Amino acid sequence: MNDKRIDTSDFPRHIFWNYKERVFLNEDIVIRNVLLYGDIEDYKKLLKHISNDSLNKIVKQLEATGKNKKRINFIKKILL
């Protein structure tokens, strides 16, 4: 897991509904939540905070679960 922290206040509240407002979360958690619960505008914000390597790592992890196939396919075609 990465040690970099990202401020969640840059993103809509519904993406981090289970955390306190304005919290700094681990980069991996932020990437995962934004990819699963965000929209295109949220993806654009996310890309300002992270590297492509970090994004690819989390996409591979999500893909390995076998869940959210349509969303992962969309992310791979649009973001990667």
Q: 36-76: per-residue pLDDT in tens?
A: 999 999 999 999 999 999 999 999 999 999 999 999 999 99
- Write the burial class of residue 67 (CB in 10 Å: 0-12 exposed, 13-18 middle, 19+ buried): exposed
41 Cα distance to chain centroid: 12
Residue 80: pLDDT band by 50, 70, 90 thresholds? confident
Look at residues 77, 40, 37, 76 and name the one whose alpha carbon lies nearest to residue 59. Answer: 76
Residue 1: pLDDT band by 50, 70, 90 thresholds? low
Residue 32: pLDDT band by 50, 70, 90 thresholds? very high
36 Cα distance to chain centroid: 7
- Residue 79: pLDDT over 90: no
Number of structural domains the chain divides into: 1
Cα separations in angstroms, 55 against 21, 47, 80: 24, 8, 8
Residues spanned by the domain of 55: 5-78
